[in-house]
Structure 1
Amino acid sequence: MRFPTRLLAANLFFAALLWAGYLVLIALITLGISIFGEVSGSVWEPAGQLPRWYVLFTGVTLVREYLPMYIAHGQTRRQFGGQAAITIALFAPGVAALMTAGYLLENGLHALAGWPQGLSRPHLFASTSQVGLMFTEYTIEYLVWATAGALIGAGFYRWQGGGFLTIPVGVALVLVAAGATGTELRIPFVSRLFGFDVDLPPGLPVTLGVGLGVFLLGLALTWPIIRDVPLRNQQG
Structure 2
Amino acid sequence: MRFPSRLLAANMAFALLLWAALVVLVAVVGAVIAINGSLTESAWEKAAQVPRWYALFVGVALVREYLPMYIAHGQTRRQFGAQGAVTVALFAPFLALLLVLGYLLETGIYALAGLEQALGQVHLFTDPGQLPVVFTEYLVEFLAWIVAGAFMGAGFYRWREGGVFTIPVGVGLVLLAESTVGPGLRLPFLLGRLGRLGLDLPKSPAVALAIGLAVLLAGLALTWSIIRDVPLRNRWS
Tell me if TM exceeds 0.5. yes
Amino acid corresponding to residue 177 of structure 2 in structure 1:
A
Matched, 1:212 2:213: yes
Amino acid corresponding to residue 56 of structure 2 in structure 1:
L
Amino acid corresponding to residue 206 of structure 1 in structure 2:
V
Matched, 1:232 2:233: yes
Runs of 4+ in 1 over 4 A off after TM superposition: 190-196
Can you list the C-alpha shifts for 1:166-196, whole angstroms capped at 9, x where unaligned? 1111100000001122344222349977996
Can you list the C-alpha shifts for 1:10-30, whole angstroms capped at 9, x where unaligned? 000100011001100100000
Q: CA 1:156/1:79 → structure 2, altered by over 3 Å: closer, same or farther?
A: same
2:132 alignment partner in structure 1: 132
Number of corresponding residues: 236
Distance in 1 separating the partners of 2:200 and 2:84: 30
Please give the residue correspondences for 1:35-50 in structure 2 after superposition, counting only pairs within 5 Å.
35-50=35-50
Distance in 1 separating the partners of 2:196 and 2:94: 33
Distance in 1 separating the partners of 2:155 and 2:195: 19
Please give the residue correspondences for 1:99-110 in structure 2 after superposition, counting only pairs within 5 Å.
99-110=99-110
Please give the residue correspondences for 1:12-23 in structure 2 after superposition, counting only pairs within 5 Å.
12-23=12-23
Distance in 2 separating the partners of 1:196 and 1:19: 28
2:64 alignment partner in structure 1: 64
Q: CA deviation at 1:198?
A: 1.1
Question: Please, which runs of 5 or more residues in structure 2 have no aligned partner?
Answer: none
Q: CA deviation at 1:203?
A: 2.3
Can you list the C-alpha shifts for 1:19-54, whole angstroms capped at 9, x where unaligned? 001100100000000112321010000111110000
Distance in 2 separating the partners of 1:168 and 1:191: 21
Question: Please, which runs of 5 or more residues in structure 1 have no aligned partner?
Answer: none
Distance in 1 separating the partners of 2:176 and 2:191: 13
Please give the residue correspondences for 1:20-169 in structure 2 after superposition, counting only pairs within 5 Å.
20-169=20-169
TM-score relative to the length of structure 1: 0.95
Distance in 2 separating the partners of 1:221 and 1:92: 19
Q: Is the 8 A contact 1:168 1:194 kept in 2?
A: no
Q: CA deviation at 1:235?
A: 2.0
2:175 alignment partner in structure 1: 175
Distance in 2 separating the partners of 1:173 and 1:199: 15
Q: Is the 8 A contact 2:183 2:199 kept in 1?
A: no
Q: Is the 8 A contact 2:40 2:116 kept in 1?
A: yes
Can you list the C-alpha shifts for 1:209-231, whole angstroms capped at 9, x where unaligned? 11110111111111110000000
Distance in 2 separating the partners of 1:165 and 1:140: 24
Amino acid corresponding to residue 159 of structure 2 in structure 1:
W
Q: Report percent identity of matched pairs.
A: 59
Distance in 2 separating the partners of 1:190 and 1:84: 36
Amino acid corresponding to residue 144 of structure 2 in structure 1:
V
Q: CA 1:201/1:161 → structure 2, altered by over 3 Å: closer, same or farther?
A: same
Is the partner of 1:49 in helix, strand or coil?
A: coil
2:199 alignment partner in structure 1: 198
Amino acid corresponding to residue 34 of structure 1 in structure 2:
A
Distance in 2 separating the partners of 1:193 and 1:59: 27
Q: Is the 8 A contact 1:100 1:131 kept in 2?
A: yes
Q: Is the 8 A contact 1:182 1:200 kept in 2?
A: no
Distance in 2 separating the partners of 1:192 and 1:73: 48
Q: Is the 8 A contact 2:148 2:171 kept in 1?
A: yes
Amino acid corresponding to residue 49 of structure 1 in structure 2:
Q
